[in-house]
């Protein structure tokens, strides 16, 4: 059993030992061992040329990473929070996501942009936004969000080896979450969902840290005689729509749980695909659970009223079940 931060560190270190063109850059990743200690010990092993502390200038060092990737390197960019990636949004979506197409394939952009996404505790609105819908919107970017140390290591190794820019969404609240990770090398392909809990009455489609919120909700629903499947899509783009459709065919009811705001979110895209491809299989409308449609408040009591909870998931599932 190792914590999530260790699984991420193992993935980066193993890949850096394998390929000398890989380097890590970001704020406090080197001398401070990482803001969340994800890169602890990596400076001592790989040195300052490959573990690079940057200024507080996301637009600048993200642009540097784009240039390095075009020149044949494979940078890993750590954002202290993905909220700060918005400072570099132009570099990510106008450059990294599009240069392969704009250069007619002459340049590839093997970059991983990684760091914590969404809310933690009492970080207020400017540090709590879930950004997956902002990046999944753009062709040219791949977007993944692991929920366990096993998934984090396997998906990150795949991301580092990919020749396209990958948005790798972690969670500050999950860096200490422990899980089993095998000693032997493994990779998890993008676009392959994972059933975290079997069920027959309804499927809950989810990703990232709220997989565990939904597992808690499913256990509570069991006491009410409702068998809920929890489907962790893991990869937002590419999306494993076949796994989602198969789950809907089995259960005939679905709830999508997405951290972040409801308007124009990933949940809306998933629901649209279900309605388009599985309409005749549905016994009830597909519903979603998201954060409330307001900026994240700082006060604990208000924060709890805004974020997704197991109780809200249970309430929505019961509504879909006609309870």
Q: What residue ranges in the chain does DSSP mark as E strands?
A: 2-3, 22-26, 51-53, 74-78, 112-116, 142-144, 166-170, 178-179, 194-197, 202-206, 228-232, 235-237, 254-258, 287-290
Q: Give the side-chain half-sphere CA count within 13 A for 21.
A: 14
Highest mean pLDDT, choosing among 81-85, 295-299, 302-306:
81-85
The helix-helix angle for 310-320 and 210-222 (nearest 10°) equals 60
Q: What is the pLDDT of residues 71-124, one digit of tens each?
A: 999 999 999 999 999 999 999 999 999 999 999 999 999 999 999 999 898 888
Write phi, then psi, for 108 (nearest 5 degrees). Answer: -105, 155
Cα–Cα distance for residue pair 91/77, rounded to 1 Å = 12
Q: What is the pLDDT of residues 36-47, one digit of tens each?
A: 999 999 999 999
User: Is 252 annotated as catalytic?
Assistant: no
pLDDT for 323 beyond 90:
no
Cα–Cα distance for residue pair 69/75, rounded to 1 Å = 7
**Owner of token pair 């092993």:** 45
Q: Residue 177, Cα to own-chain centre: how many angstroms?
A: 15
In order of their start, the domains of the chain are: 2-179 (3.40.50.970), 194-320 (3.40.50.920)
pLDDT for 277 beyond 90:
yes
Cα dihedral 263, 313, 143, 168, rounded to 10, equals 120
Q: 210, 173 in Cβ contact below 8 A?
A: no
Selecting among 6, 15, 27, 58, the annotated active-site residue is 58
Q: What is the pLDDT of residues 246-256, one digit of tens each?
A: 999 999 999 99
What single string gives the DSSP state of each residue in 114-136? EEE-S--SS--GGG----HHHHH
Selecting among 6, 78, 127, 212, the annotated active-site residue is 127
User: Is 127 annotated as catalytic?
Assistant: yes
**pTM of full prediction above 0.85:** yes
């Amino acid at each position: 059993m190792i914590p999530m931060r260790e699984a991420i560190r193992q993935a980066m270190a193993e890949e850096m030992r394998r390929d000398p063109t890989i380097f890590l850059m970001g704020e406090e990743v080197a001398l401070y061992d990482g803001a969340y200690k994800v890169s602890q010990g990596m400076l001592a092993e790989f040195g300052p040329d490959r573990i690079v502390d940057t200024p507080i200038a996301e637009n600048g060092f993200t642009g540097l990473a784009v240039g390095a990737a075009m020149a044949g390197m494979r940078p890993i960019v750590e954002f202290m929070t993905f909220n700060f990636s918005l400072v570099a949004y132009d570099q990510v979506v106008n450059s990294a996501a599009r240069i392969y197409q704009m250069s007619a394939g002459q340049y590839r952009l093997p970059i991983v942009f990684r760091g914590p996404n969404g809310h933690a505790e009492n970080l207020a609105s400017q540090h709590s936004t879930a950004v997956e819908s902002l990046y999944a919107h753009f062709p040219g970017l791949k977007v993944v969000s692991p929920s366990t140390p096993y998934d984090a290591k396997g998906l990150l190794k795949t991301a580092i080896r990919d020749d396209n820019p990958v948005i790798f969404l972690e969670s500050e609240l999950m860096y200490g979450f422990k899980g089993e990770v095998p000693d032997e090398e493994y990779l998890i392909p993008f676009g392959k969902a994972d059933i975290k809990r079997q069920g027959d009455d309804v499927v809950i489609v989810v990703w990232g840290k709220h997989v565990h919120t939904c597992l808690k909700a499913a256990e509570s629903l069991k006491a009410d005689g409702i068998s809920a499947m929890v489907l962790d899509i893991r990869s937002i783009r590419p999306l494993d729509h076949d796994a989602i459709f198969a789950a809907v065919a089995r259960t005939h009811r679905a709830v999508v749980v997405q951290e972040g705001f409801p308007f124009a979110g990933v949940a809306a895209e998933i629901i649209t695909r279900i309605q388009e491809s599985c309409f005749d299989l549905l016994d009830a409308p597909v519903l979603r659970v998201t954060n409330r449609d307001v900026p994240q408040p700082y006060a604990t009591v208000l924060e709890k009223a805004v974020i997704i909870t197991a109780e809200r998931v249970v309430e929505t599932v019961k509504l879909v079940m006609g309870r």
